[in-house]
Structure 1
Amino acid sequence: MAIKDWPKDEQPREKLLARGPAALSDAELLALFMGTGCKGLDVMENARLLLKEHGPLRLLLDMSAQKLRKLPGLGPARACKLVAALELADRHLRAKLDLGEGMCDPKTAMRYFKQRLRGRPHEVFAVMFLNTRNHMLAFEELFNGTIDAAAVYPREVARRALFHNAAAVIIGHNHPSGSAEPSAADRDITRHLEKALPLVGVRLLDHVVVGEGTPVSMAERGWLEPTLSFRG
């Protein structure tokens, strides 16, 4: 059955307009983007096939335009539009922070670090530098590691914080293995930075670990000193 023959309130476009994009499944969102299917498949069947064979959604959307263009129902034009749409979403989030939206809670930081670090094949340690009102001054990837480790030097983090005249930082890194659960080494480096950074007048607000699914915030788990929280 073609989508146009579905009950009106179950058609993806009408559902989105009535209930918002969060009400749509991954397949419905993908089908709405694609518009039409390919030979022998309607657009919903095509979307479900793509997710079944190349998903879940995050893995599918992490593909390059060169890979996406070879998938059934996409092709060069749709692949380029899909990659462009994802880049627009990334730039929208970055622009909000660049224009002075403060880091008011761990979830904002978790969303930002996830967009910047997810899908990396090796471990990357990054730092967000903030002013006294928790507005972002800069974001830097300071250390790169292998598949399971990155050497982190507190002195370099402090040096870059002083360079940016930062009052606070949020640190984050990814786990290419997929698990966002912090390791003992992750907690150790957090404790080292928690002690070292205040010596140069810089607060550590959070350490975010990015893997598959929802990132982990050490601040949200209560693993950082309360005096070094998201309070300005």
Structure 2
Amino acid sequence: MTDVDSFIADGFVRVEGAFSRELAADCREILWRDTGCAPGDRSTWTRPVVRLGDYAQEPFRAAANTPALHAAFDAIVGEGAWLPRGSLGTFPVRFPGGDAPGDDGWHIDASFPGDDPSDYMSYRVNVASKGRALLMLFLFSDVGEDDAPTRIRVGSHLDVPPILEPAGDEGLAFMDVAGKAVPASEHRPVVMATGRAGDVYLCHPFLVHAAQQHHGTEPRFMAQPPLAPAGPLPESSPVRIAIGRGLGR
């Protein structure tokens, strides 16, 4: 059972064993090949992060559409309120050692395009979370404290609605939201999105989070796709209930 109350209060839940370790291994085999690096030759691990494009092959589609995940989507977003994923988006594969990754700032993810759809920095967020029902973190490798787990500010999703509400339907651009949400959530405790291959973190779209440098020994494989809403979120959706709580309603 998905802990809906925890999701509303903390902004995330972890679905343990959301997909099988065998599926995770099948996907890693494909991802390793595309990194251009060799699993057994650390001299090829020359970059702190390798970003790989969208993956829609069968093992990725299967990992994104297990019964456990669909049940969790129904519980957190609302039955019939979300769209199934046909792929798993981009993968930032993080390697140990080396330079700082340069992409480890605190932020929330933007949801819909601005004036220039090709410019991600102009993407926007509004208080209704147009275009995004969830941020998801799919772990395709075991991730411990030293393996560059995503950092999460617990409860920070409640700090964001008051920032967005005055902007109405148009919302705010990615950098404008970050410039306000990051200082507004500095008081929040931080946890790490650790777990085993096959675990999935389901996060509120407004959750403030950040990457970090890899201090472990083995590369970290993770996907971070959005879950799209089927339309405006129903009033009964825990995602929407959390937004209302952030607004003091």
Normalising by the residue count of structure 2, what TM-score does the alignment of the two structures yield?
Answer: 0.28
Q: Which has the higher contact order (CA 8 A, sep 6+)?
A: 2
Larger Rg, first or second structure (1 or 2): 1
More helix per residue:
1
Normalising by the residue count of structure 1, what TM-score does the alignment of the two structures yield?
Answer: 0.30
